Structure 1
Amino acid sequence: MRVKDRMRRSLVSVAQSDTLDHALTTLKRFNIRHLPVVKGDHVVGIVSDRDVKKAAPSPFDYPTAEEFRAFTSAVSIKDIMTKEVITVAPLTPIEEAASLMSQKRIGALPVVQEGRLIGMLTETDVLGVITEMMGATQTGSRIEIEIPASPGTLTEVMGIVEAQQVEIASLVTLPAREGARRLVILRLRTINPDPVVRALEARGYPQVVGEFVH
């Protein structure tokens, strides 16, 4: 899966000359948390809801709404935006984009092709992908098991599951906490994981945890 498959193509952006008041209004109107700052169709900055909240004074500091708006209308986007923008390409693998967001601690990535802004990928979009990859959008069962990190072991586990006539909805592997082992999380298309759990335990896989999930 690539960034282009999940990015938001309906863009809401601002210009450097726009005001803090405009940013506040736009974020609220579209219920979003990030605004790319553009010059033509090129990204020159980005503004987050945190940037806006940090720059905006408390409304209680001003006797009237008109005075508050007068202040926010005097501050330009250019003064509060992040100028060094981290971007991704539309063909970037989604997991690389997620890793970049985690490493840089950012909540959105403008998607740029040949210098032009063509989309936005947010942390909400990435979480949606992870949810689907984990099979969490479907009713079924979840099995968690630790296996040796050796060739053929995962294939054997999948074979044991399929021998019980149970379909695997999703499979995720992670490094285990200790030793040369892997944690395997299976989502199964069945409401009763017990036969699979017993079959795995019978083949020597200890501490198999199975549960029904909505």
Structure 2
Amino acid sequence: MVKSYQGAFIKKETKQEEPNSVSVKDYMATNLITFNEHQTIYEAMDILMKKKISGGPVVDENNNLIGVISEGDCLKEIVKGKYNNSPKLPGLVKDYMATNVIHIDPETNIFEAANMFLRMRFRRFPVLKEGKLIGQISQRDIMRAVRDSQEVNWKH
């Protein structure tokens, strides 16, 4: 069967962007609450509670990602304080943050990012460009991207 040149031309003209072309940079959060390694765990806990977040990136003065601090990391210090009968929380973020942080590239396809969430069971990934923190992508951001792509590109 032979296809006409005109038919191929029309198909190309009406082609919509495929959902696979949506990348992390299109849906990542960029206005992030960050921490520094010299903050106390108490300060970190206070920020987490006031901002209603469960964790955040730890950066140095040049915005290089050096770790991630989470509610779970803070709980470790609380338990230590109880064990030592010390109500103060003298520990620093650098003593409790995760330092082996898996990050994601801003050009990563959202479906590849979704697969990373399923494989690694993380709630969020820092987004780095040339070693600098530029954003964060969460599972919710991925769901929003898929929902938006479905409305434009997929048949219901």
TM-score where L is the length of structure 1: 0.55
Greater share of helix residues, 1 or 2?
Answer: 2
Bigger relative contact order, structure 1 or 2, given CA contacts below 8 A and separation 6+?
Answer: 2
1:203 match = none
2:52 match = 31
The 5 A counterparts of 1:100-111 are 100-111=116-127
Aligned-residue offset at 1:31: 1.4
Secondary structure at the counterpart of residue 42 of structure 2: helix
2:70 match = 48
- 1:76-134 deviations in Å (ceiling 9; x for gaps): 11111111010111111111112112211111111100111111111221222234445
1:211 match = none
Q: Does 1:9 align with 2:26?
A: no
1:98 match = 114
Distance 1:130 1:25 in 2: 33
Larger Rg: 1
Aligned-residue offset at 1:46: 0.6
2:100 match = 84
- 1:45-99 deviations in Å (ceiling 9; x for gaps): 011222223432399x59xxxx63x2x2x01111111110101111111111121
Assess, with a 3 A threshold, how the Cα gap between structure 1 residues 58 and 170 changes in structure 2: closer, same or farther.
farther
Secondary structure at the counterpart of residue 135 of structure 2: strand
Across the aligned residues of Structure 1 and Structure 2, the Cα RMSD in angstroms comes to 2.4
> Which runs of structure 1 show a deviation greater than 4 angstroms over 4 or more consecutive aligned residues?
none
Distance 1:123 1:15 in 2: 24
| Aligned counterpart in structure 2 of residue 20 of structure 1, from 31, 38, 41 | 41
2:12 match = none
The 5 A counterparts of 1:117-156 are 117-135=133-151
Secondary structure at the counterpart of residue 65 of structure 2: strand
Unaligned runs of 5+ in 2: 1-21
Distance 2:91 2:80 in 1: 15
Identity across the alignment (%): 28
Distance 1:83 1:28 in 2: 22
Contact kept in structure 2, 1:87 and 1:109, CA below 8 Å: yes
Distance 1:133 1:56 in 2: 43
1:75 match = 91
Aligned-residue offset at 1:4: 0.8
* Pairs aligned (count): 132
Unaligned runs of 5+ in 1: 136-168, 172-185, 188-214
Greater share of strand residues, 1 or 2?
Answer: 1
Contact kept in structure 2, 1:110 and 1:119, CA below 8 Å: yes
| Aligned counterpart in structure 1 of residue 130 of structure 2, from 114, 137, 144 | 114
TM-score where L is the length of structure 2: 0.74
